[in-house]
Amino acid sequence: MSLKDQIETSKLPKHIAIIMDGNGRWAKKRGLLRNLGHKSGAKSVKQIVEACAEINVKYLTLYAFSTENWNRPKIEIELLMKLLISSLRKELKTLQKNNIKLNAIGNIDLLPKSVRKELVDVIEKTKNNNRLTLSLALSYGSREEIIKTIKEISLKVKNNLISPENIDNSVINNHLYTRNLPDVDLLIRTSGEQRISNFLLWQIAYAELYFTEVLWPDFTKENLFEAILNYQNRERRFGKTSEQLS
């Protein structure tokens, strides 16, 4: 029986988030330039998006470019932005064909105008799709998101639009970039690194974490299915005891 056939459809993670790590190391191992690692990583993106759609995962969020990534060499940033534009143009038909909605989270205003234009165009053209919501975390940093949220709520408190005693999880959720997304059920990180890297800190409060040695350009549908099966074999207690769950 294939890994895909072993997955219990009734126990699918509703929201999967992935830290796509290892493009640079993948290229270095092969004596290639880093940009070729990013191009190979883009192929993995397509494969994983298709796999999630196939098994009816409803939400997939990919960490594509962090706020800290702006500190990388200028030439690498420019190559990443060009790759993003070309990928958006190239994959629009695939998104439409598979009924996939594109979403973006992060400080999008920091992206080059050409990238924002392409991104907004694809988001608009896929806004009515409902099979899978694919969110790209671009110019995203969780601490920046939380600071932004605190400032927005503080301003509303100052203007008597929100009472301090009414601030709860839902109020905070409604001011995050991810306001229209459910909390993450499964967080995957490739390349062997075992850290969160400022990604969805609020949203992964009760997520199951899965780390794999596989570099992102080598990450296949089978690797994804393996991660989901691992997730399905865990007991999610949300603070309760095993006895309470049973």
Q: Given the DSSP bridges, would you call strands 59-66 and 132-140 parallel, antiparallel or unpaired?
A: parallel
Catalytic-residue membership of 109: no
Q: Are 141 and 66 in contact (CB under 8 A)?
A: yes
CA distances from 203 to 16, 51, 163, 182, 223 (A): 11, 23, 24, 8, 23
At which residue do the structure tokens 């992964």 appear?
204
Query: Which listed residue (5, 21, 174, 180) is catalytic?
Result: 21
Catalytic-residue membership of 129: no
Q: State the alpha helices, DSSP H only, in 55-192.
A: 74-97, 113-125, 142-158, 169-173
Query: Which listed residue (69, 107, 198, 230) is catalytic?
Result: 69
Residues 6+ apart with CB under 8 A from 43: 217
Residue 170 token pair: 């839902």
SS3 224: helix
Residues designated catalytic: 21, 69
